[in-house]
Structure 1
Amino acid sequence: MKNFKKAMKMAGICSMAVVMMAGLAGCGGKAGNNVSSGAKNAAKIGFTAALTGGAAAYGKSEEEGVRLAVEEINGKGDFPIDLMVDDTKAVPAEAMNATKKQIQDKASILIGPMTSNEAKAAGPIIQNAKVPSLEISVTAENITDMGDCIFRNSVPESKNIPQTVKKTHQLLGYQKAAIMYAHDNEQHVTAQKYFKKTMEEEGVEVVDVETFGSKDSEFSAQLTNIQTKNPDVIVVCSYYQEGSRILQKMREMGMNQPVLGDNGFVSPELGRMAGSAADNVYVSSMWSAERKDAKVQNFMDAYTKKYGHAPDQFAASAYDGVYMAVDAMKRAGSTTDHKKIRDALARMKDFKGVCGTFSFDDKRDPVVDLILMKMKDGKYSMVDM
């Protein structure tokens, strides 16, 4: 460990100017640009996300969070990082190719893939190579069951959804619910199962379940079916693109019930696209800019200064992910021994990030508190329970 720290310190000192210039250049460049620290023995972080395509809003937020963290760490000069960035377009085959490429390029640790469908496809590749992977916004079930090298700092739907249901049921007192979900996305299929299960456990009657495709743009038939059942609350499990159109159509049809969303609804893009139709939407999130915490406020200030807009959950979670990866490599005393890095990540306990205080359970899922959020006037705010 002593020699490792000395080597890293010397590399940082020798490359301080290069680090700062490369970090700034990489972080200000186009999506997909790599960042080189200029140090020979730099840690190599491989980051994959959908930087183009239908899920790009999530991916770009994650990229911004990752680049800010790398810039901050490289700016200190004592732990140089080379960042490899690949666009997966939210396509499983692209995620598999990007993962193979980054493994071949000797990544110390992987951050990604971004979506549950991609994670399912790339998981066997990651596990076979025995390279530790920290997945940022993957919430479908059984992701970490693919192998002991796969971790995530995103809360799985089995832990997220029950909190959303129990808190909103206590708050709103609804008795009848209807559910709509995207049938062709692993995350949303999983989410609707836990919404239905938890609502029934809470004594809520699920009066209708409707499905749609993630590329659909017309939802009148499903909403008409739901309207005839007159539920007290409506659940929508989808990304924000379909979700915003569903919300607009609901309000147009005079359906003013509160709406519960899964992780796909957490993006601020939902409010921007749906406008006032998104009012009265509830989600659970690890992240809130309203937290009275110095680490949160420092991140908010740095992020807003750099990018000109506030971070969302995906940016914050990705930012934490880089610091988690670096923490594991430092405690492992290595940037090249994948087993030591994996083992150090597994031992992580009470890591203080901007999204809260994290530990990993025995399935390598995060143990972290969630916050109930409500959309009003295009913005999410914490709900005082």
Structure 2
Amino acid sequence: MNTITKRIFTLLSVFMLIFLAGCGSSDSDKKSSGKSGGKVEAKIGVIAYMTGAGAAYGEAITNGLKLAQKEINAKGDVNIELVTEDSAGKQEQALSAGQKIMADNDILAIIGPTLSTEFKVVAPEAELNGIPIMGTSTTAEGIPQIGDYVFRNSIPEALAIPAAMEKVVAKTNGKKVAIIYGNDDVFTKSGYDTMKKEAEKMGLEVVTTETFQKGQSDYNAQLTKIKSKKPDFILASALYNEGAVIMDQARKMGIDVPFVGGNGFNSPQVIEIAGDAANGLVVATPWFGDSQEQKVVDFNNKYKEAYGKLPDQFAAQAYDALYIYADALERAGEADREAFHKALAETKDYEGILGKFSFDKEGDVVMDPTVVEIKDGKFVEFK
């Protein structure tokens, strides 16, 4: 082989290496962008309250997510993989679950944790890491204000509780109110703050304020005092476990006035635990399961077919949340956190099963709640 031939061969070898390297780079770029054959693919982390006293919340949320995931992936434009971790309703476990999820660089965004108490320790970590995170059941004050990457699609207590109180006052002409709330939980304390503020704003007389702790089973002392004050209705900020027991014991003591509950009461578990004692509970919710809107009827049927029971608010909010993520992912066109974050923040007038939904400039909910009550063992629209 002469010198000229050797040089030509060497140049051809170099060009071939460059070409192959370019091909390798193209494949790598395609993988990192989350695109496969025109389909946008993404991994979403989920932190849910799956074991423990409030496991019904986590079950409903993950059921709603899995149903939405199946439908979204079947459409073909977006493919979502869910990576789920159990928080057990505990801050430290939620934080560990969040850190485990965030350690995976392929995770695009997070849904959860379930409780505001848990969410408030995980969301700052997500904010620091530039990972979008959405609460589907976190209604305490200040959630979206944690940071730019923090969102929620659950109506805050600051909107829901006043809506329910106004309806009850208008119907009963009530003037005196008693308050009972859990003083060892961010969510229930936030609900109490809203109840107290709204009562003052409406000119209601708060005849007594009683507190309790998670896991408490005997409320005789608190309810005896409430009964002696003869309120026109009772404001209760509690999770469904304690809230249902409070109502059951109240009815057995002869307290028959309406209860106005916070978001923790928006579960069929209240009826299952309290039975007839749950009648007279009034709450505000974005989800009215007995609506005859076709999209609600269809969701109820699909959910019941999949899980053998009807969905609650938490299932519906989780279902819509994943669709909101999928919509933002499709608009972003790639599984890139910054592109996804920008598209998510721009969500406006999205039509979900809960109704028309938008984020405000802080990542909070823009939509109207429906006020419902438990009557004859089921949630009906309060009129």
Indicate if the aligned counterparts of 1:47 and 1:85 stay in contact, CA closer than 8 A. yes
Residues 268-324 of structure 1, C-alpha deviation per residue, up to 9 Å, x if partnerless? Answer: 100010000010100000001232322222211111111111000000000000000
CA distances 1:83-108 after superposition (whole Å, capped 9, x unpaired): 10111101111111111111222211
**Deviating more after overlay: 375-384 vs 252-261:** 375-384
Structure 1 pair 9–124 and aligned structure 2 pair: CA distance change class (3 A): closer
Report if aligned partners of 2:348, 2:359 keep a CA contact under 8 Å in 1: yes
Using the TM superposition, give the Cα deviation of residue 115 of structure 1 relative to its aligned residue in structure 2, in angstroms: 0.5
C-alpha distance in 1 between matches for 2:358 and 2:75: 26
Q: Distance in 2 between matches of 1:326 and 1:76?
A: 11
Aligned to 1:325: 325
Give 1:193-208 correspondences, 5 Å limit. 193-208=193-208
Which residue of structure 2 lines up, in the alignment, with residue 25 of structure 1? Answer: none
Partner of 1:16: none
Deviation string, structure 1 residues 40-84 (Cα, Å, up to 9, x no partner) = x72111111101111111110001000000011122233211110
**Aligned position for 2:117:** 117
Greater Cα shift, 51-60 or 155-164: 155-164
Q: CA deviation at 1:163?
A: 1.0
Distance (whole Å) between structure 2 residues aligned to residue 223 and residue 199 of structure 1: 20
Q: CA deviation at 1:10?
A: 2.5
Amino acid at match of 1:110: I
Note the 1:124-273 alignment, pairs <5 A.
124-273=124-273
| 1:10 maps to which of 37, 56, 73 | 37
**For residue 368 of structure 2, what is the aligned residue in structure 1?**
369
* Cα offsets for 1:128-175 (capped at 9, x unmatched): 110001111001111112110000001111112111111221122111
Q: Which residue in the other structure is 1:381 paired with?
A: 380
Match of 2:72 in 1: 73
- Which range is displaced more, 309-318 or 156-165? 156-165
CA RMSD of aligned residues (A): 1.7
Q: Residues 279-318 of structure 1: matches in 2 within 5 Å?
A: 279-318=279-318
The CA distance in 2 between the partners of 1:206 and 1:7, in whole Å, is 55
* SS of residue in 2 equivalent to 1:42: strand
Percent sequence identity over matched residues?
39
Correspondence for 1:98: 97
The 2-side partners of 1:206 and 1:303 are apart by: 42
Distance 1:331 1:306, change over 3 A: same
In structure 2, C-alpha distance between the alignment counterparts of 1:355 and 1:7, rounded to whole Å: 29
Alignment partners' CA distance in 2, 1:378 and 1:60: 22
Q: Is 1:349 the counterpart of 2:376 in the alignment? A: no
Normalising by the residue count of structure 2, what TM-score does the alignment of the two structures yield? 0.89
Q: Is the contact between residue 258 and residue 282 of structure 2 (CA under 8 Å) also seen in structure 1?
A: yes
User: C-alpha distance in 1, partners of 2:34/2:92?
Assistant: 38
Q: Conserved in 1, the CA contact under 8 Å of 2:78 and 2:329?
A: no
Amino acid of the residue matched to residue 219 of structure 1?
Y
The Cα offsets for residues 152-206 of structure 1, whole Å up to 9 and x where unpaired, read as 0011111121111112211221110000000001111111111121122112111
Secondary structure of 1:108's aligned partner: strand
How far did 1:7 drift?
8.3
For residue 9 of structure 1, report the CA deviation from its aligned partner: 6.6
For structure 1, the residue ranges without an aligned partner over 5 or more in a row are: 13-40
**Alpha-carbon offset, residue 11 of structure 1:** 6.6
Secondary structure in structure 1 of the residue aligned to 2:178: strand
Distance across 1 between alignment mates of 2:34 and 2:132: 23
- The offset of 1:215, in angstroms, is 1.5
TM-score when normalising by structure 1: 0.88
Residue of structure 2 in register with 1:338 after alignment: 337
Instruction: Indicate the structure (1 or 2) with the bigger Cα radius of gyration.
Output: 2
Determine whether 1:86 maps to 2:69. Answer: no
